[in-house]
Structure 1
Amino acid sequence: MTISIRARLLATTLVLMGTASPAFAQEMAAQETTQAGGPQDQAAPASAMQEAEADPGPDIIVTGSILRQTSTATPSPVTVLSSETLDRRGISTVQDAIQQLTSNNGPALTNSFTANGAFAGGASAVSLRGLSTSSTLVLFDGLRAAYFPLSDDGTRNFVDLNTIPDDIVDRIEVLRDGASSSYGADAIAGVVNVITKRQFKGVSGRAEAGISQDGNAANQRLTLTAGIGDLDDKGFNAYVSGFYMRSEALYNRDIPRPYSTDDQRGICNSIACGPNNILNGLDKDGAFGIFNPVVSDFYVTPFDAANANALGRPQLLNPARGCLNGPGHTLTAAELANSAANPTFACQEDQTYRYGQVTPALERFGGSARFTAKVGDDAEAYILFNFQQSSSAFSALPAVVRANANAGILYPRFSTSAGGAANAPGSGPLTLPVYVCAARVNCNAVNGTLNPNNPFAAQGQVARLSGRLSDTLTQNETRSRVYRVAAGISGTMFGDWDYKVDATAMHNDLRRTTNGYVYIQHLLDVIADGSYNFVNPQLNSKAVRDYLSPENVTDASSDMYQGQVTLGKALFDLPGGPLQLGVGASIRYEAIDAPSANDDYNGPTQRYFTLNAFGTSGHRTVYSAFAELNAPIVEQFEVNLSGRYDKYSSGQSTFSPKVGAKFTPIKQLAIRGTYSRGFRIPSFAEANALPTTGFVPLLPAGLPNSFLQQYGAACTNTNTPACPAYLTAATFGQTTLASPDLKPEKSRSFTAGIVFEPIRNLTFTVDYYNIKKTGAITSASTSDAIAAYYAGQPIPAGFQVIADAPSPAFPNARPRIAFVQSQLVNSDTIRSEGIDFSASGSFDISDTVHFSTSLEASYILDLSTTFADGTTESYEGTLGNFNLTAGSGTPKWRGSWQNTLTVDPFTLTATANYFGGYNLSAEDQNGSGTSGDCGLAPNPRYVPCDVKRYITLDAVGSVKVNDHFTFYVNVLNLFDALPPVDVVTYGATLYNAVQGGNGILGRQFRAGAKFNF
């Protein structure tokens, strides 16, 4: 799109704002007072008319500035979410409110997505402008918070939104602009500033419970806050607050089809229906394809004593018991002829229906205490304590024991002949030996016995083993404890110098507990001594199960200590007002210690199958100096200049300037704009972590036919259903190697916008943003290395490609890729460009009737990456950046529209939430083609190439019984709109976890009561 077209779009949108169809928005309003009735800082972008005619009120500090000023209309766009606004919307947590920001897009992290064993297990993070979690800075009362000990995708530092103390939050200010000139690193895409209550008087609380219309996903919430004193009358205020929240886990079997099953045959269009992805399921014509051995039933294949030649087909280890978790199918002669690896009888299993979990079980509780006091006539001091514990629990599939898997280790292979050759681990398929013995080595007929788990032992044959431990589910639990203290004093000295001194310390203690993962050496042990009953796993004792899958407990922590001082003074008067200067300095220490839960320091067998191996540690001190100058040159024109210098003990340093201006030609119109430079410091994980691996689909549709046809003549990149599960159900690991020599990512951003208020209390805003990030830290695209491997060509420099074990069914074919390794580098240029819209109005219809409306939407014009070779990939409106977003995509539109009608004593609020559609393509995926070409859609394309837009409507009704009690009922997702089907995104089953994270629960009801004395 050219500049002129974008300019016309900007102008046309402004004209149509008043009559546009719902593009939907968050409310932008700040409370005038706290619950205690005292004065409250404001930060909403007031209109020019409000600035010209409203009383100045108390001086405030707006997010993104260090100066106290009367005006709330800053050059930078700011969205304000008040606690009252969130309450009216039926949003019970701050993290949920932030996730629903219209400017939150792309690689955001939700609780449901991260709880399933992901790198940042159990955490939640925001991604403004689609620029990832590490480019959005999260603050508490303008001060930094400790990073979550684990990293997003094993590389990016971020603040966990679950650590925010919901019960004392007064409002959330979202600066939708670069702010490194004020806050330093990470504030490239914007800043989320969570502001707590300054004071509270009396006693208040709530009791709330909710459930879905199907009787699941139950949740509860209890809060209590009590405070005494009044800052104005008594010179002090103290309050304490506590809360408890819990939400139950939701499983796929409890939600409607197609999200509850692996069977996609019910997903059809006019051309075709989807495949039956139930393991070993029959296709739409009732035919069996290629055997998939990864079911919860053990299969064995007889091999000669040298473990070199198959002597038969796979068969159930315990045929008398039959299939545990699904029906079985006896193969026809034609189906047996498809592959020598097909068994005569195949167990079928719908793993999503039986084991799939949509949301984890969550539990949070905590407490806060604050004391604030006047110090003399010109100062105010405070101290604030917070403690919070957040826990999540998630269960997954039974533990895997299969012939081939992406685990990054040498698979055990046993070559035991009847004559007594030694059992020894090596590379190759997992095999049950002929003899077992207590010594576990050199087992033979003299010192051992025939292996009771090997049905071919009497014939002197070994048995290759595959399947899952039907008696052992993998489970992931995280428990995060956060301790935080903040203290400060602010006031005036020497008559006209404003000062503010703050200090904070925060410690995050994270415990990860996993169960059900097979410890490799212990697996070798129980195979060698025969102590584990593979024939009837349910008969194993708890002691044997615990030995094979010992509980893994890993403790990690992060710390942040910060001290900051600012000074401000009005130097002299300009025609438009006082020229203000602010200066400040800060020092902070930050550290992470996150040992790997699955390292291989002691050898490749001294670890677990498939358990995430991320680990990192590091610490650094940051010294900063900053300044700001605000110059109201004339009444209609104001300029703001700011800059900050940051120096890191790890060797990096950077200067970040910013200039902003606001022009008010008439009282109904303000024009604003900013230009800034910023940076993101390399994370601890990027600089010195252990190698980290993320798994992505193999996507055989993008592989050359010369490779695919080794797995059957019918297997081609246009006929992937004819390919074996070894290819179609495979993932490969993208292993990232840290680099201590990385430089900070640098950014350049500018905004331009208008604030238009044709009449009082009716405001429209349009803001354009353009962000360019250079030297982006990344590993180079793996496409060339992957293509070279599958084409049999030399691997490009800087990459290492590790092949998987061969397919048991096609042992002579070139194996699929198991891992691609590369080191992080400063290489790419990332661009994010778009427009934000908002409209808000507030109207008193009568003395007892009031109506307010607020609309906000964000539209992405461009989100792209340019690589070192000059090539560019565009992601807006697609599933890209697929590797960065986990396939959750980058829709062009997000928005919401909130309307509230108050007829004393009743209040009714309806909020529409909009999540734009996207195309099933991603330019960063090998073979997907160009943006918008549906390159990731399955073939035949049984679903539309474009995932539909998603709209939900929430309704909240309340009645104020008297001055002390209010009762309310929330109906979330009023019309029970389920997310559109997405067969490509892998963060959830057949839907987008970010797009449909709450909607997948269907219609939900929540009722509660609030009291205030």
Structure 2
Amino acid sequence: MLPKPSRLARAVQLCLLLALPATAAAQDASPAPATPDTRTLDAVQVTGTRIRRAELEGQVPVHTVSRADIERSGLTSIGDVVQQLTGSGSALNTKFNSSGNFGFPPDGSGVGAGSAQVDLRHLGSKRVLVLVDGIRWVNESSASGVGAATDLNTIPLAIVERIEVLEDGASSLYGSDAIAGVVNIITRRDFDGAQVTLNYGEFDEGDGASKGVDLSWGRTTDRSSLFLSLSHTDQDVVFARDREQSRFPVPGTGVALGSSGIPAGRFMVRDPNTGASLDLVPNAGVTDPLYNPAQTGCTRTDGFHCFGLADRFNFAEYNLLLTPSKRSGAFGQFRFDISPELQWYAKALINRRESTNQAAPEPIFLGPEGATGNPLADNITISARNPYNPFGFDLVSGDSLILVGRRPLEGGARVFEQKVDTQYVGTGLVGSFEAGNSLWFWDVNAAWSRNKARQTNRGSYNIFNIALALGDPDACAAVAGCVPLDIFGAGTITPQMLGWIQPLVRDESQNELRLASANISGDLFRLPAGEVGFAAGYEFREYKGWYQPDPLTVRGHYNGVPSLPTAGTYDVNEVFVELDVPIFGEGVLGKSLNLNLAGRYSDYSTFGGEFTPKYGLRWQVADDFLLRATYAEGFRAPSIGELFGSDSRFDAQLNDPCTEPFLDPSLAGNCRALGVPAGFQQPNPQISITTGGNPALDPERARSFTTGFVWSPWFAANSSWADRFDFEVTFYRHDIQGPIQALSAQTQLDLCVRTLDPTYCDGIGRAATGGINAFNNRLTNLGSIKTDGWDVDLYWTLPENAAGRFAFSWQNTFVGRYEAVGGAGQLQPRRPGIEVEDSAIPEWASTAALDWTREAWNASWTLRHVSDLVEDCGRAVTFPVCSDPATATNRLGSTTFHDLQAGYRFDWQQGLTLTAGLNNVFAKDPPICLSCSLNGYDASTYDMPGSRFWYLRADLRF
């Protein structure tokens, strides 16, 4: 689809206006002749600038993860590698069993089950731009929505040469999504010969095995280079029940915080004959559990007992601690020098990810307190004529029926299987020419990429068929296949009943990206202090995305998380210009001072135009001391899911402030005003939240500032104690206005109860019994997000001696402030040192690594440290696992993980290297998290509970 002519014309005209003066200046000026060794198509271009000049390295803080760094980690996923950077925040990975009740987050993207994402500066994965060789990568597809972030599991680790991470706003250079930074994955290119890499690892408990094989082959000649790669990675499952910390919903609480959807069924009813309110559970092994209305106490003789904490269901033992994943990929790129000044390239990738998530058997919640948001369940009537109904009267929702919570173990666990196929094709020309005695570089590129996902869900239920089977038997008999359903007791559902109520659910989604770009870079003219560098370019992108749930879901018959189809498309035309202006050269003020200016104009089909500037200073005070600072404005365009996402639902674990005995006495009056009766106890902590897209959303707008220095002391270079000694300090600050988000559901509920303000309460409905039965939580542009902090890094390489060569690196991130404010000025709970909503912002994150090499030997020791955190105990405040019941908070102590690796290189063929490693050497447990949704810990911040992971790798080159 071509862009609209009028918009394309405006973009081209603006590009010409930017470029023509620069070209004229280049032709009229008389710059110094370019030196011969700079005339190459491979001139240095680093992430963070579009100007191809090697001396610009250091203009902005860029962290480089080399191939050696990747191999030292022992990891097999790009996402896992990047998530270990100290500046990374909480993001999805394969330790998240993100299925079932996770549902659809407010941004319409789906849960991204099986994916691995990257979050920089704790600003969210959708605010990080992922590039591959400088070209945008397509957003993820999870078969549960239209994603707004990149799934790094769609890129094989085997093809990576290095990863460059720019932790600074870069919208002026790269466009939307680069608010928090840029991850640029550089692929392997110049390669001669072949390489086979085999790896195997597992946890010391004997589970979670990871197996992989990578095959690479390349050939480089005077005029061409070819690189081909095949890779396969197979990661096995680890069950939550196999670790002490994760086998209960909250460690140290048993089943007290388990689900009220239980195998025997929980029945909250009101007897229309006596008016008695009952909360009953059928006794185990009772063959005739006929209800006797005369028995209203908790000591019963009618086959029932009153529901208590011991009846709650332990859903945790069905969860996965590490999700299984298989990834297979093929990649190739070819480059050919048509002439010394012109090169053509082509590259292609295909990748298949097969992953699985599992949740406990799906509960069937019926009645107004079920809070499913599905009227078939919330407004159900269970007929007195149902042959299995023991109560002898109709159970009418909102009258005689308050809640049914039945979890059929007969139907097995919910299993979600994903297949995600990624295709990428790109081609382009790279060239150079001389104009006015200055060397210019140019490139034109075109790329197409697509992620398509299919998800199969086994173990869920058809609520329409359930309602029919629980209703009038005559109505059921009139429908082919329908049989009356028995939900009154454990093990009562027969295979014939399951055949009627249990479907196979299939969902699909797709994201597609088409782009074309043209760039030029060179020196405009010479000033007394040096050459004025210049870069400009044009880019066109078209995004398409859709999500198609199973027809059962579209009809509203799915018992699980409901959703409707989503589809959308938009395109953007962009032009940019960048200048590097030397202010002064070597003199009394130092070696040099350069001013960097950049600006980008983006014209979106969805909301119009946006201009983002950037300003930078680079002051080389001395050969060994560099000062730098940048100020950038940025924006993030609303994604397809955020704009066009249809109504859907996710389930949140919420603590109703009106529940007793946890009710704050000062809020009792407000609870009564909301219709909550005295003595109310929240029957189901899982509350269904209805959400959806908003086509009226505005872009997020951001301001970013960084400043710092790099010091490489002259007295350390080539000294007796150091070959290299670099000390880097960077201060960063990000300010996002109008972030696209929904108010935290727990925050909205707390503010409603505390203030009774319609701003918060209008979207929350309650049943006559006081329980929440509706919760509307929509996307909008809210308030602001502000964060700042420091990066402090040290790199020290010692001279080689008889003991070998030692290299030490120490990277640190200190978060000084993180403040998220809602649209009405309410402060969100996330801030430094706090664990909330399955994510943490440590005040200090640190990684130290010591490397040693001697002849054919190599070894490394790595320490990964996370400072302590504090969380709200919630309902676990009465349990010993809450470290400070007096303040209702739990302390997650500071944690340090140790990793060890050693290897030996044999002189066989072109080299055979054998490597052995052990991650989490001391089997350090992550701190217990009471507020985390699953498995008792924060899976985006810590290693898995109580597990060493050992691995072996063989790398043969020939």
Shorter-chain TM-score tier: 0.7 to 0.9
Tell whether the 8 Å contact from 1:298 to 1:467 is kept in structure 2 after alignment: yes
Tell whether the 8 Å contact from 1:877 to 1:919 is kept in structure 2 after alignment: no
What secondary structure, in the 3-state scheme, does the structure 1 residue paired with 2:185 have?
Answer: strand
**Quick check: 785-794 or 358-367, which moved more?**
785-794
Tell whether the 8 Å contact from 1:597 to 1:615 is kept in structure 2 after alignment: no
Residue number in structure 2 paired with 1:951: 896
Tell whether the 8 Å contact from 1:212 to 1:1001 is kept in structure 2 after alignment: no
The answer to whether residue 359 in structure 2 is matched with residue 359 in structure 1 is no
Distance verdict in 2 for CA 1:830–1:341, change over 3 Å: farther
Distance verdict in 2 for CA 1:539–1:259, change over 3 Å: closer
In the TM superposition, 1:433-444 aligns within 5 A as 433-436=383-386
Matched residue type, 1:135: R
Tell whether the 8 Å contact from 1:136 to 1:188 is kept in structure 2 after alignment: yes
Matched residue type, 1:367: A
Aligned equivalents of 2:115, 2:61: Cα separation in 1: 28
Residue number in structure 1 paired with 2:49: 65
Residue number in structure 2 paired with 1:163: 154
Aligned equivalents of 2:860, 2:755: Cα separation in 1: 62
Matched residue type, 2:96: F
Q: Indicate which of 746, 749, 767 corresponds to 1:786.
A: 749
Q: Indicate which of 413, 427, 430 corresponds to 2:379.
A: 427
Residue number in structure 2 paired with 1:199: 190
Deviations along 1:455-512, one digit per CA (max 9) or x if unpaired, are: 4559999998532111122111221110001111112134532111111110111112
In the TM superposition, 1:291-440 aligns within 5 A as 293-298=260-265, 309=275, 314-316=280-282, 319-320=285-286, 343=306, 348=311, 351-352=314-315, 354-403=317-366, 404-412=369-377, 427=379, 431=382, 433-436=383-386
In the TM superposition, 1:386-535 aligns within 5 A as 386-403=349-366, 404-412=369-377, 427=379, 431=382, 433-436=383-386, 451=387, 453-456=388-391, 465-472=404-411, 473-494=413-434, 496-528=439-471, 529=476, 530-532=483-485, 534=487
Measured after TM superposition, the shift of residue 74 of structure 1 is: 2.6
Q: Indicate which of 246, 250, 257 corresponds to 1:259.
A: 246
Tell whether the 8 Å contact from 2:620 to 2:627 is kept in structure 1 after alignment: yes
Matched residue type, 1:399: E
Residue number in structure 2 paired with 1:857: 812
Distance verdict in 2 for CA 1:410–1:899, change over 3 Å: same
Measured after TM superposition, the shift of residue 346 of structure 1 is: 8.8
Tell whether the 8 Å contact from 2:189 to 2:227 is kept in structure 1 after alignment: no
The answer to whether residue 597 in structure 2 is matched with residue 641 in structure 1 is yes
Matched residue type, 1:748: R
Measured after TM superposition, the shift of residue 406 of structure 1 is: 3.0
Tell whether the 8 Å contact from 1:768 to 1:836 is kept in structure 2 after alignment: yes
Matched residue type, 2:229: S
Q: Give identity over the alignment, percent.
A: 22
Measured after TM superposition, the shift of residue 533 of structure 1 is: 5.2
Residue number in structure 1 paired with 2:6: none
Residue number in structure 1 paired with 2:720: none
Aligned equivalents of 2:906, 2:662: Cα separation in 1: 74
Tell whether the 8 Å contact from 2:143 to 2:507 is kept in structure 1 after alignment: no
Tell whether the 8 Å contact from 1:802 to 1:817 is kept in structure 2 after alignment: yes
Matched residue type, 1:818: N
What secondary structure, in the 3-state scheme, does the structure 1 residue paired with 2:246 have?
Answer: coil
Residue number in structure 2 paired with 1:673: 629
Tell whether the 8 Å contact from 1:295 to 1:468 is kept in structure 2 after alignment: yes
Matched residue type, 1:668: D
Aligned equivalents of 2:843, 2:304: Cα separation in 1: 46
Residue number in structure 2 paired with 1:554: 507
**Quick check: 740-749 or 541-550, which moved more?**
541-550
Aligned equivalents of 1:902, 1:460: Cα separation in 2: 75
Measured after TM superposition, the shift of residue 685 of structure 1 is: 2.0
Measured after TM superposition, the shift of residue 985 of structure 1 is: 2.2
Distance verdict in 2 for CA 1:138–1:992, change over 3 Å: same
Q: Indicate which of 505, 509, 534 corresponds to 1:581.
A: 534
Measured after TM superposition, the shift of residue 399 of structure 1 is: 1.7
Measured after TM superposition, the shift of residue 869 of structure 1 is: 4.0
Measured after TM superposition, the shift of residue 875 of structure 1 is: 3.2
Distance verdict in 2 for CA 1:896–1:380, change over 3 Å: same
Question: Which consecutive residues of structure 2, in runs of 5 or more, have no partner in the other structure?
Answer: 1-36, 103-110, 290-294, 477-482, 586-591, 673-677, 718-723
The answer to whether residue 912 in structure 2 is matched with residue 977 in structure 1 is no
Aligned equivalents of 1:724, 1:211: Cα separation in 2: 48
**Quick check: 580-589 or 870-879, which moved more?**
870-879
What secondary structure, in the 3-state scheme, does the structure 2 residue paired with 1:68 have?
Answer: coil
In the TM superposition, 1:550-629 aligns within 5 A as 550-597=503-550, 602=555, 606-611=556-561, 613=563, 615-629=565-579
Tell whether the 8 Å contact from 2:652 to 2:689 is kept in structure 1 after alignment: yes
Tell whether the 8 Å contact from 1:597 to 1:614 is kept in structure 2 after alignment: no
Aligned equivalents of 1:80, 1:506: Cα separation in 2: 26
Residue number in structure 2 paired with 1:961: 906
Aligned equivalents of 2:777, 2:128: Cα separation in 1: 26
Distance verdict in 2 for CA 1:344–1:985, change over 3 Å: closer
Tell whether the 8 Å contact from 2:255 to 2:314 is kept in structure 1 after alignment: no
What secondary structure, in the 3-state scheme, does the structure 1 residue paired with 2:739 have?
Answer: strand
Measured after TM superposition, the shift of residue 684 of structure 1 is: 1.6
Aligned equivalents of 1:279, 1:336: Cα separation in 2: 24
Measured after TM superposition, the shift of residue 780 of structure 1 is: 4.7
**Quick check: 789-798 or 549-558, which moved more?**
789-798
Deviations along 1:194-224, one digit per CA (max 9) or x if unpaired, are: 1101232211011111111111111101111
Distance verdict in 2 for CA 1:723–1:250, change over 3 Å: farther
Distance verdict in 2 for CA 1:577–1:402, change over 3 Å: same
Aligned equivalents of 1:599, 1:764: Cα separation in 2: 59
Deviations along 1:611-634, one digit per CA (max 9) or x if unpaired, are: 253753211111000111112333
Residue number in structure 1 paired with 2:82: 98
Q: Indicate which of 902, 919, 929 corresponds to 2:870.
A: 919
Q: Indicate which of 802, 805, 821 corresponds to 2:765.
A: 802
Measured after TM superposition, the shift of residue 149 of structure 1 is: 3.2
Tell whether the 8 Å contact from 2:143 to 2:453 is kept in structure 1 after alignment: no
Tell whether the 8 Å contact from 1:642 to 1:658 is kept in structure 2 after alignment: yes
Q: Indicate which of 158, 178, 188 corresponds to 2:169.
A: 178
Aligned equivalents of 2:61, 2:246: Cα separation in 1: 39
Measured after TM superposition, the shift of residue 176 of structure 1 is: 1.2
Matched residue type, 1:519: N
Deviations along 1:938-989, one digit per CA (max 9) or x if unpaired, are: 9846997321111101111111122421111110101110101121222x32
What secondary structure, in the 3-state scheme, does the structure 1 residue paired with 2:468 have?
Answer: helix
**Quick check: 294-303 or 682-691, which moved more?**
294-303
Tell whether the 8 Å contact from 2:584 to 2:593 is kept in structure 1 after alignment: yes
Deviations along 1:528-587, one digit per CA (max 9) or x if unpaired, are: 444445478868675643431211111110100111110122122334432121111010
Matched residue type, 2:858: T
Aligned equivalents of 1:786, 1:356: Cα separation in 2: 28
Question: Which consecutive residues of structure 1, in runs of 5 or more, have no partner in the other structure?
Answer: 1-53, 266-274, 281-291, 324-331, 413-425, 437-450, 717-721, 807-812, 929-933
Residue number in structure 2 paired with 1:33: none
Aligned equivalents of 1:200, 1:738: Cα separation in 2: 47
Aligned equivalents of 1:60, 1:322: Cα separation in 2: 81
Tell whether the 8 Å contact from 1:860 to 1:876 is kept in structure 2 after alignment: no
Aligned equivalents of 2:393, 2:705: Cα separation in 1: 76
Tell whether the 8 Å contact from 1:711 to 1:723 is kept in structure 2 after alignment: no
The answer to whether residue 838 in structure 2 is matched with residue 887 in structure 1 is yes
Aligned equivalents of 1:100, 1:849: Cα separation in 2: 28
Measured after TM superposition, the shift of residue 889 of structure 1 is: 2.2
The answer to whether residue 216 in structure 2 is matched with residue 236 in structure 1 is no
Aligned equivalents of 1:321, 1:877: Cα separation in 2: 56
Measured after TM superposition, the shift of residue 372 of structure 1 is: 1.2
